[in-house]
Amino acid sequence: MREGTATVIRREDYAAPAYWIRSVELTFDLDPVKTLVTNRMQVERNPHATTQTLRLDGEDLNLLRVLVNGESVSFRVENQQLVLENLPAESFTLELRNTCSPEKNTQLSGLYTSSGGFFTQCEAQGFRRITYFLDRPDVMAVYTVTLKADRAKYPVLLSNGNLVEQGPLDNGKHYAKWHDPFPKPSYLFALVAAKLVCREQKIRAASGREHLLQVYVRAGDLDKTEHAMHSLIASVAWDERRFGLSLDLDRFMIVAVSDFNMGAMENKGLNIFNTKYVLANPATATDVDHAGIESVVGHEYFHNWTGNRVTCRDWFQLSLKEGLTVFRDQEFSQDLAGTPSARAVKRIDDVRTLRQHQFPEDAGPMAHPVRPDSYLAIDNFYTATVYDKGAEVVRMMQTLVGRDGFARGMTLYFERHDGQAVTCDDFAQAIADANPGSALAHKLEQFKRWYSQAGTPRVAARGLYNAEMRTYTLELSQHCPPTPGQSEKQPFVIPVALGLVGRNAQPLPLQLVGENAPAGTERVLVLSEAAQRFEFTGIEVEPVPSLLRGFSAPVILEDTLSDADLLTLLAHDADPFNRWEAGQRLALNRLLAAIKGDGVLQLDGAYVDAMRAVIRHPALDAAFKELVLTLPGESYIAEQLEEVDPQRIHAVRESMRLQLAHALHAEWEWAYEVHQDQGGYSPDPVSTGRRALVSLSLAYLCLAAAEKQVPLWPGKAYQRFKDAGNMTDRLGALSALVGAHSELAAPALERFHAMFRDEALVVDKWFALQATAPEKGGRVFARVKTLMSHPDFSLRNPNRARSLVTALCFSNPAAFHRTDAAGYVFWAERVLELDAINPQLAARLARAMDRWKQLAEPYRSAAREAIARVAAKGELSDDVREIVTRALAD
């Protein structure tokens, strides 16, 4: 257990360091029990600093020696810092020796062992768990690293940059020496020593430079590396094409490790990845996995510029690299998807993620600005707000300056800041300065409120048609609810992309009063006051407004559209995002009416007909149809309510699913038959969409069959499960059986486990599928408890812990929120258990209770009690303490 330091770190307290570390030579004698680290630093006093005391961070280290310019000096260790005073006036060499214990490092931060190899994770503050250092991102040094280890056990020795030397040593050991020419902060340091094999490929970049790309995995996994390699090659090409940014190293490596706290890490030239985001072949990975690999490989690669070449001055600026890099990986995947429809599908996916994770965060106790003001444990702030809302902030800048203008801004950003550690302000300034005439430049200071104010703004819209004047006036107003520590909010700059749809379904030409002629059928209005009016002229008939097209700002839109308006948009909107949105709102209106009313939902003909028209539509893509026909999730529904009864939401949503299953039975059969795969597996958007629609159809068909007790479709699903040629279809069929509580679910699950027991990532799917099955009479929760003692289950492996525990607590509200509070007791026990092993993971799990105040009784009181029980525990990590303290605050 980490010692709790409990110091709140504040953005306003930032001060440059008292010393700079210009270069580091690290030598590792790698041993799982006790690794010896020799750390020689060239240190320089910062002439502007007010103190001459040098304080180096260190955690769980055993310090052996401290030499300044080769001489021993006096030192002290206090509050996990090595403190040195009376140092030479300008520059000096500081040499330290310490040990650490990789095999005891269950936190997976710093240097740790996994499956018999050594791996590191240093962001945000893991480097201090390897050696004493100025472990902060504004201290950038050039690293030279020598690794020494047993040759047979650890044949592969990797670190950042270029391999400069390698060879044998005595006693069966060998060594490798690496040099990274780019100065970097300590969080980008990495090493790997393990028994691995690699897929490699040479590529020639547009510049003509040759690069070696390598993907390292365990011996049996080489057949699962092709997709990651393709994604990497595509990433290199895309960044050159779209932003003129090329790879700056001769060699670029990706290493997969099965024990990893998050998705992946962008260490300079040596990206370390969770196996989940590397390993894929058609037999073991789904379409969703393939898409995830493409984005994460892209994301980490794009960090090489946005994060590594230009990094963060301090951790409050995290979104400088994360928001921007998420934006870049989202654009990358959209560009690769190609067609407008496939781009829209990706956009819809991204917005769903934002609404599912970030909106609740913004409405709960952990709400914080994209650039937070304070933290206790920085690892708690790798959040949906910093990442996904941060990406939306960057996207809004692009919307305000245009795609070319944004690319110019990026170029200026790198011209100004390459090699520096900077702030979110520096980024916004560069984009604005490159586009002096833009709305962004005019309103830059106000726009930056997106960085400083938390909470999801609400935009109210009202349209008034004047038939006599043939004008249409759109009244837009905004307000943002208070969030912890921020009661008053100033207006944001909100780009509202819109079009007007005529009653004959045609897009109307847009002309604002004061303009000479109509220009186009879509434009971006900028809402920057608390309330504003926009008057369009020459409008012959009352239109239906299509607002916030493509989700042009991360806001909640409150408009007055009727069912008839939404049906018009669903059928005719030129913007595919808003078409989907209209379908979701039609569903949501019905769900909410029943939840707030008598709990009974009776599907109406208009909705069913509209859904039928979508399924049968000759021109819409299967992927898009699947998204329209997927009902809003239970957590998203909960976010629309003042008071939440998770069981009621579940019951109403299940009843709607069942009615859709019956009412559209013929359509599901038709969709199932006509969208079958032809030919071999390919994870392209068209095939992916077809498979998704087939799986959704099968789920509905099994559901309908379960109620009528007709075995035909479950039988077909079982057959499909057995004979599937790829994991997407197999898991789709299995999940249809599990989702319908079919009698065939148990034998299918058993068979699935037997087939894939040696594939860890597939076993994760097996656990997750059971943990997220629709709850019925408490059996899902009971099953999860049983699975906790399954021989394959372990809390120590983050992927496995997430597949069962996190899946239940976050993704299965009806199984988790029980009237007998057993779900909350389970949660509290797991949080405490995990905190002793891995505080970062425990703190993530702790956040399952973020929205407890919104719950109805008896859930609310039981939830508070469970959180209080965790908070009362004496030895909590800072990570968990921060979450539960905030949750309990008024």
The listed partner (ligand B3K, Zn ion, none) that binds 810, CB under 5 to 8 Å by sort, is none
Q: Under the rule (CB under 6 A), what is the footprint of ligand B3K?
A: 123-124, 262, 264-266, 299-300, 303, 322, 379, 382
Comparison of 262 and 285: residue with beta carbon closer to ligand B3K: 262
Comparison of 265 and 480: residue with beta carbon closer to ligand B3K: 265
With b for 16 or more beta-carbon neighbours within 10 A and e for fewer, the 310-343 pattern comes to: bbbbbbbbbbbbbbbbbbbbbbbbbebbeeebbb
CA distance 383 to 95: 37
- Transcribe 772-809 into DSSP letters: TSPP-TTHHHHHHHHHTTSTT--SSSHHHHIIIIIHHH
Counting beta carbons within 10 angstroms of the beta carbon of residue 820, is it exposed (0 to 12), middle (13 to 18) or buried (19 or more)? Answer: exposed
Quickly count: other Cβ atoms within 10 Å of residue 165's Cβ: 10
CA distance 284 to 275: 12
Tell me the one-letter amino acid at 605.
Answer: G
Comparison of 375 and 668: residue with beta carbon closer to ligand B3K: 375
> Residue 114 CB, nearest distance to Zn ion (Å)?
21
The listed partner (Zn ion, ligand B3K, none) that binds 124, CB under 5 to 8 Å by sort, is ligand B3K
Residue ranges in 77-96 that form contacts with Zn ion under rule CB under 5 A: none
Residue 143 β-bridge partners: 24, 180
> Residue 321 CB, nearest distance to Zn ion (Å)?
6
The listed partner (ligand B3K, Zn ion, none) that binds 653, CB under 5 to 8 Å by sort, is none
Comparison of 37 and 265: residue with beta carbon closer to ligand B3K: 265
CA distance 690 to 292: 18
> Residue 325 CB, nearest distance to Zn ion (Å)?
5
Comparison of 325 and 840: residue with beta carbon closer to Zn ion: 325
Strand order in the sheet with 81-84: 54-57, 81-84, 76-78
Nearest to 39 by CA among 56, 19, 18: 56
> Residue 850 CB, nearest distance to Zn ion (Å)?
22
Whether residue 300 lies in the annotated active site: yes
- Tokens describing residue 270: 């040596």
Comparison of 125 and 770: residue with beta carbon closer to Zn ion: 125
CA distance 808 to 817: 10
> Residue 387 CB, nearest distance to ligand B3K (Å)?
7
Catalytic residue among 25, 300, 361, 775: 300
CA distance 463 to 561: 9
- Tokens describing residue 548: 């916030």
CA distance 850 to 869: 15
The listed partner (Zn ion, ligand B3K, none) that binds 123, CB under 5 to 8 Å by sort, is ligand B3K
> Residue 264 CB, nearest distance to Zn ion (Å)?
8
Comparison of 331 and 835: residue with beta carbon closer to Zn ion: 331
Quickly count: other Cβ atoms within 10 Å of residue 54's Cβ: 24
β-strand pairing of 91-100 with 35-45: antiparallel
175, 58 in Cβ contact below 8 A? no
Tell me the one-letter amino acid at 688.
Answer: T
- Of 314-322, 334-342, 477-485, 606-614: span binding Zn ion (CB under 5 A): 314-322
Please enumerate in sequence order all residues whose Cβ is within 8 A of that of 697, keeping only pairs 6 or more positions apart, or say none: 668, 669, 671, 672, 675
CA distance 626 to 342: 12
> Residue 296 CB, nearest distance to Zn ion (Å)?
9
- Transcribe 623-667 into DSSP letters: HHHHHHHSPPPHHHHHHT-SSB-HHHHHHHHHHHHHHHHHHTHHH
The listed partner (Zn ion, ligand B3K, none) that binds 501, CB under 5 to 8 Å by sort, is none
521, 510 in Cβ contact below 8 A? yes
Backbone angles phi, psi at 567, to 5 degrees: -65, -35
Pattern 410-429, binding to Zn ion, x per CB under 5 A?
Answer: --------------------
The listed partner (ligand B3K, Zn ion, none) that binds 622, CB under 5 to 8 Å by sort, is none
- Of 191-199, 234-242, 322-330, 466-474: span binding Zn ion (CB under 5 A): 322-330
β-strand pairing of 210-217 with 251-257: parallel
> Residue 322 CB, nearest distance to Zn ion (Å)?
5
- Of 324-332, 359-367, 584-592, 597-605: span binding Zn ion (CB under 5 A): 324-332
Comparison of 139 and 582: residue with beta carbon closer to ligand B3K: 139
> Residue 380 CB, nearest distance to Zn ion (Å)?
16
CA distance 229 to 210: 16
> Residue 32 CB, nearest distance to ligand B3K (Å)?
23
Question: Helix, strand or coil for residue 466?
Answer: strand
Comparison of 307 and 364: residue with beta carbon closer to Zn ion: 307
Comparison of 199 and 303: residue with beta carbon closer to Zn ion: 303
With b for 16 or more beta-carbon neighbours within 10 A and e for fewer, the 520-554 pattern comes to: ebbebbbbbeeebebbbbbbeeebbbbbbbbbbbb
Q: Which residues are catalytic?
A: 300
Which residues of this chain interact with Zn ion, rule CB under 5 A?
322, 325
